[in-house]
């Protein structure tokens, strides 16, 4: 059916004529096979592209974010926490290995907090001077 015919039928319905709507019919384009649809439904080790423990650091972190919902910090109770891997292996997402820590506590546990404070103190005169320019 061309565009003119669709417009004619639409306008006739708007003027009160009893013309039924046509069913849209099959969708145009690529049809996925049932095997492809089943592959899309698989997660984890069942997925066709699963890499197991041979993953990048960021992949392990994103798996932990999906697997464990956010909780408060286990050290200070702050509501906004990150997931910390106790053994520093991000691919190990066992519940006993993942600890919820806020940013400050996470930096303290990793040993980055002291360097951050030193850097902030070193940059303070520059930041204060830039503020008054």
Query: CA gyration radius for the chain?
Result: 29
Predicted TM-score (pTM) of the model is 0.57
φ/ψ (deg, to 5) at 112: -95, -15
The answer, yes or no, to whether residue 53 has pLDDT greater than 80, is no
- What is the Cα–Cα distance from 101 to 116, expressed in whole angstroms? 17
pLDDT digits (tens, 9 = 90+) for 6-32: 889 889 999 999 988 887 766 777 778
Q: Under a CB-based contact definition with an 8 Å cutoff, are residues 97 and 86 in contact?
A: yes
Distance between CA 77 and CA 69 in Å, rounded? Answer: 16
- Reported as a pLDDT band with limits 50, 70 and 90, residue 133 is low
CA distance 31 to 9: 30
| pLDDT, tens digit (0-9, with 9 covering 90-100), for 99-129 | 999 999 999 998 999 999 999 888 888 877 7
55-98 pLDDT tens trace: 888 888 888 888 898 899 999 998 889 999 999 888 888 999 99
């Amino acid at each position: 059916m061309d565009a003119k015919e669709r417009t004619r039928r639409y306008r006739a319905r708007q003027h009160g004529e009893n013309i039924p709507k046509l069913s849209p019919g099959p969708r145009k384009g690529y049809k996925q096979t049932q095997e492809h649809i089943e592959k899309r439904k698989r997660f984890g080790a069942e997925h066709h592209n699963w890499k197991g423990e041979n993953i990048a650091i960021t992949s392990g972190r994103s798996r932990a974010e999906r697997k464990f919902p956010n909780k408060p910090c286990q050290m200070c109770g702050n509501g906004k926490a990150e997931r910390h891997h106790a053994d520093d292996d991000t691919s190990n997402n066992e519940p006993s290995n993942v600890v919820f820590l806020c940013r400050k506590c996470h930096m303290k546990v990793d040993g980055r907090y002291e360097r951050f404070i030193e850097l902030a103190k070193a940059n303070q005169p520059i930041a204060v001077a830039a503020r008054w320019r």
